[in-house]
A and B are shown apart, each in its own frame.
Chain A
Amino acid sequence: MGDRASNGRTVVERRSELELVVTRTFNGPVRLVFDAWTKPELFKLWWAPKSMGVPILSCEMDVRTGGSYRITFGHDAADAMAFFGKYLDVSPPSRLVWSNDEGGEEGAVTTVTFEEEDGRTLLVLRELYPSKEALDQSFVGMEDALPEQFEQLDELLITLSASV
């Protein structure tokens, strides 16, 4: 991983069995940060950074309350993975809420809030899962999430500790 000055500013916490919270401060006003999350041509530039190794193939976003989005990742259409859902709440420039429907019943609801202070933006992203298992096994949908072997071990350990 690159040791950028900004490393370590991304804080990830598991706040409860069902909730993962990610926080970071960005050096720019809220309107610009909000734009980067809601304009497909900007969103595409950062949502799948090169280090992930999986490019975004397409990105359709109808950013308004009740609107849909659909994002596909992959090297070509044949092996594409799709992520899709609905915007449950779009309140520019301070709040975005969407569902992650590709997970079916196990899909999380993502809430992002934007708060400006002295020209900087505090961003808080919450993923709320319907069950502990869904969060345990949540992938960010990227190939470089936990290796499969490790997942298996995880499951085994979870099974063992659950039987206590």
Chain B
Amino acid sequence: MVQFSTARLDASFAALSDATRRGVLEQLGSADASITELAEKFHMTLTGMKKHIGVLEQAGLVTTEKVGRVRTCRLGSRGLEEEAAWIEARRQIWNARFDALDDVIEALKRKEKVDGGQSE
């Protein structure tokens, strides 16, 4: 099965354990914002907001990009990864089933040959 990294899960849970950080994610869900804008919105010092963004960045929930003197924050690609993992978990299950079904079909074909069934 898909192996999820416990360390990364822990980082995500830690990142999401704080109300301000959850608020920041919500905010970034509707529009990108600079650290300055976020600090103002959440009535925090720039340093405080930088720390929060750092935690979110570590967890892969936010990415930041510095353009000129402004650091813009946006939601990380985590959402896409979740989707890929979700699909892969299901693919693994169907693939395991269908590999076993392959074997059953091979056995049925052999049996038909032995029983003098229709030739292929």
Q: Which residues of A contact B91 (CB under 8 A)?
A: 10-12, 22
Q: Which residues of A contact B83 (CB under 8 A)?
A: 14
Cα(A26)–Cα(B107), bound, Å: 13
Question: A14-B87, A42-B104, A156-B16 given as contacts; is B109 within 8 A of A2 (CB)?
Answer: no
Q: Indicate if B18 sits at the interface (CB-CB under 8 A).
A: no
Contact of B97 among A20, A47, A119, A149 (CB under 8 A): A47
Are A157's CB and B82's CB within 8 A?
yes
Cα(A24)–Cα(B104), bound, Å: 15
Contact of B96 among A14, A51, A154, A164 (CB under 8 A): A51
Cα(A150)–Cα(B82), bound, Å: 10
Question: A12-B87, A119-B120 given as contacts; is B79 within 8 A of A157 (CB)?
Answer: yes
Are B105's CB and A32's CB within 8 A?
yes
Are B102's CB and A1's CB within 8 A?
no
Q: Indicate if B89 sits at the interface (CB-CB under 8 A).
A: yes
With both beta carbons as reference points, the residue of chain A lying nearest to B107 in the complex is identified as: A45
Q: Which residues of A contact B78 (CB under 8 A)?
A: 157
Are B95's CB and A164's CB within 8 A?
no
Query: What does DSSP make chain B's interface, helix, strand, loop or mixed?
Result: helix
Q: Convert B74-99 into 0s and 1s, putting 1 for each residue whose CB lies closer than 8 angstroms to a CB of A.
A: 00001100110111011111111111
- Among B21-29, B33-41, B64-72, the stretch that binds chain A is B21-29
Q: Give me 29 A-to-B residue pairs in the complex whose CB atoms sit less than 8 angstroms apart, sorted by A's number.
A: A2-B99, A4-B99, A10-B95, A12-B91, A12-B94, A14-B83, A14-B87, A20-B90, A26-B98, A26-B105, A27-B105, A32-B105, A32-B112, A35-B108, A36-B101, A36-B108, A42-B108, A45-B104, A46-B100, A46-B103, A50-B100, A51-B96, A119-B120, A140-B93, A146-B2, A149-B13, A150-B9, A163-B29, A164-B26
The 5 closest A-B pairs by CB, nearest first: A164-B29, A46-B100, A28-B105, A49-B100, A10-B95
